[in-house]
Structure 1
């Protein structure tokens, strides 16, 4: 593993990647830790901030252009920016099953599944993990 390709990338890519890595780690803790506690709510807000950072920072990453400066991943970012506040609102309204489903979906779809595509040959995270 060599972090040089990531450390040499643009500031937007570094912010995006390190926020996603932090969100993946914290999200994993959130999935297994007790729910409804003060730490769960505190870390949940932190995780939500990281997810928003991942989504917003993606708009400055334009390597896969399909629609002007945007690619298909930006549709996922728009979805995250809509689904995240919806899931938070459901927690606020004590609709815990839908809150849990929304947050779990964001974790697996917005981080795990989307993250797997970052290891595609030719992408920076592929270089980090497998070399150039």
Structure 2
């Protein structure tokens, strides 16, 4: 592992990666911490700012362009910005169930699942993590997708059969 690819990357990629790391670390604190505590609100707003920064900086990354300078990953950026707006709106209106659903899904799918795409060969995250062994990125992606599917199956079983809650 080497940080050289990240440190030598353009500024917008450094901002994107740093913001994603902040959001990845703070997400569980906001999602699973005590809801009524002031910490939840403070961490939540920092998380929202980090996610907005991830989304906005993504529009300057064109290494995976498919349609002009854009890729399907840019669609995630648009959905993320809309979801942030909706999630905050739900909280302000007092619809905490919808607020939790939007931000929980945004963390799991918009950050974790979309973040796995950064381990595709040739991407900065892959180069930093595997330093030339690009094929290992596919293993990370496969393991991540497996975990997401496993969680969904366990969650569905919990809903159908009354199993203990899976976060």
Q: Which residue of 2 aligns with 1:89?
A: 89
Deviates more, 1:121-130 or 1:99-108: 121-130
Whole-angstrom CA distance in 1 between matches of 2:10 and 2:36: 38
CA RMSD between the two structures: 0.8
1:13-52 pair list within 5 angstroms: 13-52=13-52
Whole-angstrom CA distance in 2 between matches of 1:95 and 1:32: 17
CA deviation after TM superposition for structure 1 residue 121, in Å: 1.6
Relative contact order (alpha carbons < 8 A, sep ≥ 6): 1 or 2 greater?
Answer: 1
CA deviation after TM superposition for structure 1 residue 116, in Å: 1.0
Whole-angstrom CA distance in 1 between matches of 2:52 and 2:12: 14
How many residue pairs get aligned? The number is: 132
- State the TM-score, normalizing by the size of structure 1: 0.97
Whole-angstrom CA distance in 2 between matches of 1:78 and 1:36: 30
Tell me, which stretches of 5 or more residues in structure 1 are unaligned? none
SS in 2 for 1:34: coil
Give CA deviations for 1:33-69 in whole Å, capped at 9, x if unaligned. Answer: 1112211011111100000000000000011111111
1:93-104 pair list within 5 angstroms: 93-104=93-104
CA deviation after TM superposition for structure 1 residue 117, in Å: 1.2
Give CA deviations for 1:76-125 in whole Å, capped at 9, x if unaligned. Answer: 10011111110100000010000000000110111100111111122111
- State the TM-score, normalizing by the size of structure 2: 0.77
CA deviation after TM superposition for structure 1 residue 73, in Å: 0.6
Whole-angstrom CA distance in 2 between matches of 1:125 and 1:29: 24
Whole-angstrom CA distance in 2 between matches of 1:90 and 1:31: 15
Q: Does the aligned pair in 1 maintain the 2:2–2:129 contact within 8 Å?
A: yes
Q: Which residue of 1 aligns with 2:57?
A: 57
Q: Which residue of 2 aligns with 1:11?
A: 11
